[in-house]
Structure formats: C-alpha cells, structure tokens
C-alpha cells in the first residue's frame, strides 16, 4: 500500500505542474496589457510601468514562470489589488468557511444519497424506489437559488426553526481559531454557540447537497442493481445470509467504486460551484471571494483562488484513488 | 477480520467518549452561560444588525471609493463640516465655524475643543493638517477622492493655533465646504495612522459615535458605542453589526425572521409586503440620484441632435415609474435631482409624444427608423432596480417610433469599461451624488473634461464647458446657481441623455426602530437610532 501511495504521489507532479502552467497563462491570456487593465483607463504611464515591473511582466515568460513557481512553493500567492493584503493569509477564512459547508453538504449527500440508492436497488420497483428516483430527478433539475429562498421562507420565516443566513448568531459571535466554526466552538467548549453554528449550517448544506445527493442516489442504485444480479450474491443468499448483510456488506463493497468516483468529483465541484448557495445564504466562502474579485478586476486573487480550488480538487481525487486501492486490493497491482 | 472488528470497536469508543465530553462540557457550561445569559440578552436589545448588499472594501475613508465602505466609516469618523440630517446643507461637525476670504482663496475653520480620538489622542489643528498632508502626498489611485475633489487645488494647510486651521488654495473652488463634508474627508487619528501604516484600513480610529471592534471580511463588521462621545447622550445603541447579505430577497428573509433589524436595497416590488407586515416598517431615502439612458453622441444616427431629441420624445417615464419603482420615483428632466441647489425647474421636459418623435426622425432623414444597441445594466442599483426590464420597456417605446433597439449586456466591470470607451450606442446608467453639489452632477457626468472618466455619452459643448468652469471658480452661490441653470437649458436642447427618473431607494426595518434618518448620500449616521 505504501509503494502505491508513493507512486500515486509522484504521478501528481506533472499534474500540478500542468495546473500551475494553465493558471499562469490565464492572466496572460487576457487581451491587452495586464498592468493597464489592473490600473484602469486613467492610470499614468509611470504607474503602468512600475506595476509591469512589479509583476515581472517585463521579463521573458519562462523567467516569469519559474519566479511564479518559486513563490508558489514557498506559499506566496501574491497580493490582492483591492485590499493590498497577502492572498495566502486573506484566503484562509473564506476557504475554511467553504470547506466546512462543503463537508456538511457532502455528509448529507452521501449518507442520504447512498442509502436511498441502496434501498431503491434492494426493493427495486417498490413505491420507495419510484418516489426516491422521482425525487432524485427533481433534485438534479432544481434551481438552487429558488430552493434556497424556499427553504428560508418555510423553515426560517414560517416555522421559525432555523436562521436564514450567515455562519453564526452575530449577536453572540464565535471567536475564530481554525475558522471551521464547529471545531472552534468545540475547542472553546461553547456548546451554546455550537448549536447556533449547526443551525446555521442546516439550510445551506441541504441546498448545496441536493444535486450531489440526487446524482449519488442514482449511481448507487444502478451499480447496486448490477452487483446484486451477480453469482456471488446469489451464493451468499443461497447459503442463508441475512439479506441486510448481503446488501450492505457483500453488494455494497463491490458497488462502491463508481460511487466513490462520483463522490470525489462532486466534492470538488462543490468547492468551486457553491457561489449560488453562498450568495443566497450569505456564506462568506471562497466562491464569493473569487466572484467579487472578478467584479473588482482583482486578477491575482482570481488566479490564486482558481489555483487553490484546482489543487484541492486534485488532492480529493488522489484520496479517492487511494481509497479504491484500500477497498479493492486488485487496483494497486495494475 | 478480527483486526477490523476491533478497529471498529475502537472508533465506536472514540465517538462515544467525544459525545460524553460534549455532554459534560454542556452541563459544566450551563451555569456560567446562564450568568452571562442575562447580560448578553440585554446587549441584544440595543444591538442593531444592519443587513446590506455587500461588504466594505476599506475602512480608511480616505482610500475607500465605494458606498459600502462609507456606510461604516460614517459612524466611526467625523468630518470637519457635516451635512444636514436628511439633506446636503452644511452643518457644524468637528469645526464649529468657517469663513473664507473675498477672493475664495483662503478658508478658515474654528475647531471644536476637547474632542479625543478613540485611541485617546487629542483632536486639534495639527491632526487636521496631518490628514490633509497625508492625502496630498499619496498617489492618485490611493487617495482617489482627494484627487478628484481637490486635485492640487490646496496649496497649504496652516495651523493658526491649536483649534484654528487655515486652507490656502491655488484657485477658488466653489464646492470647497461641501467637499469637506464628504465621507472620504473624515479626520483620522494621526497616531493610529502611524502605528498601523498600511493596515489602517483594517484598524480605523476616528472621533465618531462608534468605535471599531471587529471585521470578518465578506461577512460582518462590528462597531461598539464610543463611551466618551462628545455629543451628550449619543449614541443610543451599544453596538452595531453590519452584515453583508448579497441577495435582496434573502436579505428581506433575514429581516422577516428577525436575524437583522434594518436592511437597505429593498426591491421596490417588496415594499407592499413590508407595509402589510405589522412587525416591519419601510423607509425611503431622499433622492440624490439620477437614472438615465446615455445617447453616445459620437455614434451613428445618434450624432444628430434631432435623433436624440426624437428618442427623448419616445419614452414614457410615468409608465417606467409605475412598473419598476412602485411609484417611489419622480420623472427626471434635468441631469440632477431637484434637491440640488441650482436645479432649473423652468426647463420643460420632452413630453411623451411618439408622433412628435416620428416627425423629428423624418426631419433628420431617418423616416424608416434605424437600428441601434441598447445596453442594459447587469446589476441592480438603487436608481435602477432591474436594468433588463427597464431596457425592455424602452425597447418597446423605441419600436413604436420605428427604431429597432437590440438589448445587449455585459458583466458589470466590462460594461463600464466598454461604455467608458464609447462602444455603446445607448446605455442605461445612473449616478448618486457625493456631496449634493451641482458640480458633482453636471461637471462630473457631462463636461468634456470628463470624457474618459464619467462622461460616458461623449457629450461635448464648449458653451456648457465654459459655464461649468465659471461656476467652479465662483464663490458667490447665487451666481453659481444662475450658471448651472443656464447649463441645464443647453444640455436639455442638446439631449445627450434621456434622463429617466430620480428614485427614492427603499429600506426596511423592524417596527420598533426609531430615530433612523436615511441620508440622501447613502451614508447614514446611526447615533440617534434606538429600539422603542
């Protein structure tokens, strides 16, 4: 297992290099002079020149690229034009907010999605199967902003169970340590705040989970159906094993690989694609951070934000790959 | 297999113990949190949560350029001269009296004594000089407003004595006092500026009714009561939290569910719902804005004055107001709202008259109409709640006189960049005044000097330019008003825009809020606000 892990880690190097190249050329693909674009129409010639120099744009591209790569390796992502703060510091709270939300959303999506898929396959063509698959179809095609506003209207305004927006009860603010509020409130032993933080997480998590949940449910169902028709399952049943174990142990283990793939891809998509949810629920996450940076023509932030999200996406897929090998030992020998 | 079972068992034990720890913490905490409970509940009553569309960019008013920044700095800092409670008349602020020389080159201000900055240092003439020197020494991008309002007009700031300061100008600057009252020219603590350097924009220190406490970017800003505030009995609230909730409907939801107490950026279409709810009340901000359709006078048929006039005759403004502003707007005939001194009420608007429009088109040689682009704003602004729909209404108006308008839109930054370069035939846009001076509308938006910055319609008229420059350099207010009135007559005739409406942006709050006075500039002082 160790050699496999090391091998997979090495194979990441070209991927990450390619990634950095693409992101590097992104800012250079903008038509016109980036320095002029950053400073705007009214900038003086001197200002443009000094920024060109500061960005290193007066040097050949490979010199620029290696300089950029060097900065990346040391964790220097540059400086935001709008706020003048180092991006690597500024981004942390946003990134953590998004990770917390995405994690909760994926938890909801996986727990409900996988189980719904399994049960649908187990009781194929039952009323549960029909209802679950129709709901999944609705889930995939649901506009998130509409769902979000409806959630707020039902659960916050009419039922008054949950708050509509934000991460915390602002009148009783959380002291940030890791910026993942569930952990922060646990460390500080503030159970009153923990409850508030979880309450704030519920509605956006459900909104964000809807689409992945539906996709996971459908994939789980179809792979489970395939597996459950195979010979070894018939054998397991024939030797008198309880149906529950047949389904949750023997079948699921063999059906899980495609499901894991989907979970990995969807988690990556959530990180970058949460802008709508973050906007509706005013969640201060990385999607909105990048989106607002676009509006202010804050290219370094856009560049670094894309890079970080892409990096996490690659890492999640690495973890998924390693999980394959752990689940199916045959994979590491290929 | 055995190994795995024991692993599972371990994990289970771990989870169980975590849960138990959680529970025990819970009980241990209960007594202490109950003790705090009463305190925090009391604090909650005089804590105001203000929901708004976006976060601030900088809390250093001198470097900020966006309204969301000034909304907060207005409560932390004060200016030498203040605007009136709900107008842009001059009122005493950090300065109690002011006077200027006949030639309009020397301005003397008497400062209020005994005021301290939040860091305990004294406010005095030295502090004023320090701030002005700081702005004058920085570059154009850094201190945008200083450079656009004062440029290099201020020759020297003299400290006459501890509480008297004198400004010497290179040339007369008529809106000098009004400029001083603008949020960007608030006086900050010199000690804090030196201490924090580049980080001052995250650690603002002023003299205002509230003291900065905390900023979580893109989320919320917390300011607390200044216990030493010089105005007796103010502020009434102990804490204000500004929360960024970008979506208008979500913000109203947050108000309805009680998470926030006051919101701005209310959709005009939601005002009815708010007024029907006994727990809520609505507010209107006095109008200091203009929404217009710019007619770029360097492009195609729009080069012809007759064509621009014809388009003006084609638009039904009352219908726009009923459909998109829920009546909370008045039709615009001049490029600035009526509250601005120098507004010319004698100007007669091009009334809604499609027949007349067709006649003018015929006279201009466009009997069969023509095709043009109509740019629709992609974002909502207080003066333009829904650019796309307004554009569609205008499109129908133009269609009626045989002009085919194709609706075009871009991402907001690109929209502004392209329009500034004169790439739009006609474009929707608007402006909210900074200081309530006519110069801030007419010169900024329509002078030939402003082509490339805010004169997006590329309007050029030497006569208008001469009038606007003369008005800038005259200290005599009556004379200035006369000049501006003349300029408006010429602009009306040339028709570089279709002035659409002056809107009253809507706000909403809980029914028990009193003392909230929305200011036309969009930056509200919250010191008099309280809960009944």
pLDDT in tens, B453-467: 789 999 999 999 999
Question: Using an 8 Å Cβ cutoff, are A322 and A5 in contact?
Answer: yes
What does the DSSP 8-state code read for residue A177? Answer: S
Residue of A nearest to B23 (CA): A191
If pLDDT is split at 50, 70 and 90, which confidence band does B362 have?
A: very high
CA A180/CA B287 separation, integer angstroms: 43
If pLDDT is split at 50, 70 and 90, which confidence band does A54 have?
A: confident
Q: Does A284 lie at the interface with B, CB-CB under 8 angstroms?
A: yes
Q: Does A78 lie at the interface with B, CB-CB under 8 angstroms?
A: no
Chain A residues touching residue B255 (CB < 8 angstroms): none
Residues 237-266 of B with CB under 8 A from A: 241, 243-247, 249-251, 253-254, 256-257, 259
Interval B212-224: pLDDT, tens: 999 988 889 999 9
Q: Does B24 lie at the interface with A, CB-CB under 8 angstroms?
A: no
Question: Using an 8 Å Cβ cutoff, are B372 and B425 in contact?
Answer: yes
- Give the pLDDT score at A43: 61
CB contact under 8 A, A41 and B54: no
What percent of chain A is predicted at pLDDT more than 70?
A: 93
Q: Which residues contact B518 (CB under 8 A, 6 or more apart)?
A: B86, B283, B284, B285, B286, B505, B507, B524
If pLDDT is split at 50, 70 and 90, which confidence band does B475 have?
A: confident
pTM of structure: 0.82
d(CA A187, nearest CA chain B) in Å:
10
CA B409/CA B374 separation, integer angstroms: 8
CB contact under 8 A, A288 and B40: no
Q: Say what the ipTM of the complex is.
A: 0.80
- Give the pLDDT score at A38: 64
What mean pLDDT, rounded, does chain B reach? 87
Q: Which residues contact A297 (CB under 8 A, 6 or more apart)?
A: A37, A38, A40, A81, B413
Q: Does A90 lie at the interface with B, CB-CB under 8 angstroms?
A: yes
Question: Using an 8 Å Cβ cutoff, are A55 and A48 in contact?
Answer: no
Residue of A nearest to B378 (CA): A295
Q: What is the mean pLDDT of residues A74-89?
A: 83
Question: Using an 8 Å Cβ cutoff, are A120 and A112 in contact?
Answer: no
Q: What is the mean pLDDT of residues A79-85?
A: 79
CB contact under 8 A, A171 and B254: no
If pLDDT is split at 50, 70 and 90, which confidence band does B473 have?
A: confident
d(CA A40, nearest CA chain B) in Å:
8
CB contact under 8 A, A148 and B250: yes
The count of C-alpha atoms lying within 13 angstroms of the C-alpha of A155, restricted to the half-sphere facing its C-beta, is 19
Q: Which residues make beta-bridge pairs with B283? A: B507
CB contact under 8 A, B29 and A192: yes
Q: Does A159 lie at the interface with B, CB-CB under 8 angstroms?
A: no
Q: What is the mean pLDDT of residues A163-192?
A: 87
CA B188/CA B192 separation, integer angstroms: 8
Distances in Å between the Cα of A154 and the Cα atoms of A151, A210, B256, B461 are 5, 17, 12, 57
What does the DSSP 8-state code read for residue A86? Answer: B
- Give the pLDDT score at A172: 84
CA A188/CA A174 separation, integer angstroms: 9
Cα dihedral value A212, A214, A218, A224, nearest 10: 70
Q: Is A171 exposed, middle or buried (0-12, 13-18, 19+ CB in 10 A)?
A: middle
Q: Does B49 lie at the interface with A, CB-CB under 8 angstroms?
A: yes
Q: Which residues make beta-bridge pairs with A174? A: none
Distances in Å between the Cα of A56 and the Cα atoms of A47, A53, A63, A87, B453 are 14, 5, 9, 18, 28
Residue of A nearest to B220 (CA): A170
Question: Using an 8 Å Cβ cutoff, are A259 and A114 in contact?
Answer: yes
Among candidates A42, A149, A292 on the partner chain, residue whose Cβ is nearest the Cβ of B453: A42
If pLDDT is split at 50, 70 and 90, which confidence band does B121 have?
A: very high
The DSSP element (H or E) to which B193 belongs, if any, is helix B190-196
Give the residue from B30, B254, B444, B456 with the most A CB atoms within 10 Å of its CB, the best one to mutate.
Answer: B254
Chain B residues touching residue A31 (CB < 8 angstroms): none
CA B291/CA B393 separation, integer angstroms: 14
- Give the pLDDT score at A29: 72
Nearest Cα residue to B446 out of B462, B431, B458: B458
Nearest Cα residue to B500 out of B323, B283, B360, B371: B323
Nearest Cα residue to B487 out of B443, B520, B525, B422: B443
Q: What is the mean pLDDT of residues A94-105?
A: 91
Q: Does B360 lie at the interface with A, CB-CB under 8 angstroms?
A: no
Residue A33 predicted with pLDDT over 80: no
CA B450/CA B87 separation, integer angstroms: 26
Task: Encode B323-354: b = buried (16+ Cβ within 10 Å), e = exposed.
Answer: ebbbebbbbbbbbbbebbbbbbeeeeebebbb
CB contact under 8 A, B247 and A280: yes
CB contact under 8 A, B40 and A83: no
- Give the pLDDT score at A246: 83
Residue B365 predicted with pLDDT over 80: yes
Q: Does A273 lie at the interface with B, CB-CB under 8 angstroms?
A: no
The DSSP element (H or E) to which B355 belongs, if any, is helix B354-363
CB contact under 8 A, A83 and B412: no
Strand order in the sheet with B210-216: B210-216, B220-225, B239-244, B47-52, B262-263, B506-510, B280-284
Residue B97 predicted with pLDDT over 90: yes
d(CA B387, nearest CA chain A) in Å:
17
Question: Comparing B6 with A118, which gets the higher pLDDT?
Answer: A118
Nearest Cα residue to A20 out of A307, A319, A256, A230: A307
CB contact under 8 A, B247 and A164: no
Q: Which region holds residue A67: left if phi is over 0, alpha if psi is between -120 and 50, else beta?
A: alpha
- Give the pLDDT score at A59: 79
The DSSP element (H or E) to which B469 belongs, if any, is helix B462-472
Q: Does A119 lie at the interface with B, CB-CB under 8 angstroms?
A: no
- Give the pLDDT score at B14: 45
The DSSP element (H or E) to which B165 belongs, if any, is strand B164-169
**In terms of DSSP H, where are the helices of A174-190?**
181-187
The count of C-alpha atoms lying within 13 angstroms of the C-alpha of B364, restricted to the half-sphere facing its C-beta, is 22
Residues 50-79 of B with CB under 8 A from A: 54-55, 57-58
CA B520/CA A4 separation, integer angstroms: 66
If pLDDT is split at 50, 70 and 90, which confidence band does A332 have?
A: low
Task: Encode B439-450: b = buried (16+ Cβ within 10 Å), e = exposed.
Answer: bbbbbbbbbeeb
Residue B452 predicted with pLDDT over 50: yes
Q: Which residues contact A163 (CB under 8 A, 6 or more apart)?
A: A156, A169, A196, A199, A200, A203, B254, B257, B259
Residue of B nearest to A152 (CA): B253
CB contact under 8 A, B413 and A90: no
How wide is the angle at C-alpha A128 spanned by C-alphas A122 and A131, nearest 5°?
A: 130
- Give the pLDDT score at A234: 84
Residue A309 predicted with pLDDT over 80: yes
SS (H, E, C) B40-103: HHHHHHCEEEEEECCCCCCCCCCCCCCHHHHHHHHHHCCECEEECCCCCCEEECCEEEEEECCC
Q: Does A170 lie at the interface with B, CB-CB under 8 angstroms?
A: yes
Q: How big is the A-B interface in CB pairs under 8 Å? A: 126
If pLDDT is split at 50, 70 and 90, which confidence band does A272 have?
A: low
The DSSP element (H or E) to which B132 belongs, if any, is helix B125-137
Q: What is the mean pLDDT of residues B82-103?
A: 90
- Give the pLDDT score at A39: 66
If pLDDT is split at 50, 70 and 90, which confidence band does A243 have?
A: confident
Q: Does A192 lie at the interface with B, CB-CB under 8 angstroms?
A: yes
Taken in order B433, B437, B442, B444, the sign of the CA dihedral is: negative
CA A203/CA A197 separation, integer angstroms: 11
Q: Is B231 exposed, middle or buried (0-12, 13-18, 19+ CB in 10 A)?
A: exposed
Interval B500-519: pLDDT, tens: 999 999 999 999 999 999 99
Q: What is the mean pLDDT of residues A70-77?
A: 85
What mean pLDDT, rounded, does chain A reach? 84
Give the residue from B1, B59, B250, B454 with the most A CB atoms within 10 Å of its CB, the best one to mutate.
Answer: B250
Q: What is the mean pLDDT of residues A143-169?
A: 89
Q: Does B26 lie at the interface with A, CB-CB under 8 angstroms?
A: yes
Interval B11-54: pLDDT, tens: 444 444 444 333 333 333 333 333 333 344 444 578 999 999 88
If pLDDT is split at 50, 70 and 90, which confidence band does B191 have?
A: very high
Distances in Å between the Cα of B381 and the Cα atoms of A157, B249, B438 are 26, 15, 21
Nearest Cα residue to B436 out of B264, B179, B228: B179
Interval B146-181: pLDDT, tens: 888 888 888 999 999 999 999 999 988 888 999 999
Chain A residues touching residue B251 (CB < 8 angstroms): 165
């Amino acid at each position: 297992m160790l050699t496999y892990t090391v091998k997979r880690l090495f194979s990441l190097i070209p991927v990450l290099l390619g990634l950095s190249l693409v992101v590097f050329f992104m800012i250079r693909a903008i038509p016109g002079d980036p320095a002029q674009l950053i400073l705007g129409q009214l900038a003086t010639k001197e200002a443009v020149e000094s920024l060109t120099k500061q960005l290193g744009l007066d040097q050949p591209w490979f010199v620029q690229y290696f300089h950029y790569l060097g900065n990346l390796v040391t964790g220097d992502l540059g400086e935001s034009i709008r706020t003048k703060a180092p991006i690597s510091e500024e981004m942390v709270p946003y990134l953590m907010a998004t990770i917390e939300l995405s994690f909760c959303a994926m938890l909801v999506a996986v727990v409900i999605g996988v189980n719904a898929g399994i049960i649908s396959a187990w009781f194929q063509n039952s009323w549960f199967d029909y209802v679950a698959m129709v709901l999944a179809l609705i889930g995939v095609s649901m506009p998130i902003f509409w769902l979000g506003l409806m959630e707020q209207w039902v659960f916050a305004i009419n039922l008054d169970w949950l708050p509509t927006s934000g991460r915390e009860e602002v009148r009783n603010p959380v002291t940030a340590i890791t910026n993942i509020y569930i952990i922060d409130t646990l460390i500080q032993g503030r159970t009153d705040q923990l409850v508030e933080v979880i309450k704030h997480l519920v509605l956006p998590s459900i909104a964000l989970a809807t689409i992945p949940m539906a996709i996971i449910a459908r994939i789980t169902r179809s792979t489970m159906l395939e597996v459950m028709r195979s010979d070894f399952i018939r054998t397991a049943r024939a030797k008198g094993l309880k149906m529950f174990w047949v389904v949750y142990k023997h079948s699921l283990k063999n059906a899980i690989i495609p499901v894991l793939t989907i979970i990995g891809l969807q988690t990556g998509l959530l990180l970058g694609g949460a802008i709508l949810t973050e906007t509706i629920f005013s969640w201060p996450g990385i999607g909105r951070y990048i989106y607002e940076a676009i509006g202010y023509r804050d290219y370094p932030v856009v560049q670094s934000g894309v890079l970080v999200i892409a990096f996490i996406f690659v890492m999640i897929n690495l973890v998924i790959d390693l999980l394959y090998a752990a689940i199916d030992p045959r994979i590491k020998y290929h | 297999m055995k190994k795995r079972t024991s692993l599972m068992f371990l994990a289970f034990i771990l989870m169980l113990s975590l849960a138990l720890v959680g529970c025990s913490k819970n009980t241990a905490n209960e007594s202490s949190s109950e003790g705090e409970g009463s305190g925090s509940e009391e604090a909650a009553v005089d804590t105001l949560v203000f929901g708004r569309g976006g976060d601030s960019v900088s809390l250093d008013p001198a470097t900020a350029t966006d309204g969301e920044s000034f909304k907060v700095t207005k409560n932390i800092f004060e200016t030498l001269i203040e605007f009136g409670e709900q107008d842009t008349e001059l009122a005493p602020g950090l300065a109690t009296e002011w006077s200027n020389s006949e030639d309009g080159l020397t301005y003397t201000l008497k400062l209020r004594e005994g005021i301290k900055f939040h860091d305990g240092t004294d406010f005095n003439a030295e502090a004023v000089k320090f701030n002005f020197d700081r702005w004058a020494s920085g570059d154009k991008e850094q201190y945008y407003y200083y450079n656009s309002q004062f440029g290099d007009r201020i020759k020297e700031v003299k400290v006459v004595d501890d509480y008297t300061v004198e400004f010497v100008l290179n040339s007369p600057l008529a809106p000098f006092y009004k400029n001083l009252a603008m949020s960007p020219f608030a006086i900050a603590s010199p000690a804090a500026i030196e201490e924090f350097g580049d980080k001052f924009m995250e650690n603002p220190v002023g003299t205002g009714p509230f003291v900065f406490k905390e900023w979580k970017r893109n989320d919320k800003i917390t300011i607390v009561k200044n216990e030493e505030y010089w105005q007796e009995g103010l502020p009434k609230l102990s804490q204000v939290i500004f929360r960024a909730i970008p979506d208008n409907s979500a913000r109203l939801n947050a108000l309805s569910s009680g998470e926030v107490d006051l919101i701005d950026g209310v959709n005009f279409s939601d005002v009815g719902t708010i007024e029907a709810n006994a727990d809520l009340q609505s507010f209107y901000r006095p109008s200091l804005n203009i929404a217009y359709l710019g007619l770029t006078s360097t492009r195609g048929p729009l080069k012809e004055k007759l064509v621009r006039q014809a388009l003006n005759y084609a638009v039904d403004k009352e219908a726009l107001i009923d459909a998109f502003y829920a009546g909370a707007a008045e039709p615009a005939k001049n490029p600035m709202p009526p509250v601005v001194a120098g507004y010319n009420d004698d100007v007669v608007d091009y009334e809604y008259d499609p027949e007349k429009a067709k006649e003018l088109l015929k006279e201009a040689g466009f009997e069969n109409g023509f095709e043009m682009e109509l740019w629709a704003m992609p974002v909502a602004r207080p003066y333009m709640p829904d650019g796309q729909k307004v554009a569609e209404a205008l499109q129908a108006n133009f269609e009626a006189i045989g002009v085919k308008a194709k609706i075009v839109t871009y991402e907001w930054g690109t929209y502004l960049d392209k329009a500034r370069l004169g790439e739009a035939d006609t474009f929707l846009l608007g402006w909210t005044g900074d200081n309530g001076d006519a110069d801030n509308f007419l010169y900024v938006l329509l002078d030939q000097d402003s082509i490339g910055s805010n004169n997006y319609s590329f309007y050029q008229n030497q006569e208008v330019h001469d009038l606007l420059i003369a008005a800038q350099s005259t200290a005599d207010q009556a004379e200035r008003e006369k000049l501006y009135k003349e300029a408006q007559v010429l602009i009306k005739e040339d028709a570089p825009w279709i002035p659409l409406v002056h809107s009253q942006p809507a706000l909403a709050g809980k029914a028990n809020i009193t003392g909230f006075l929305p200011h036309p500039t969009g930056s509200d002082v919250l010191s008099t606000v309280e809960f009944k």
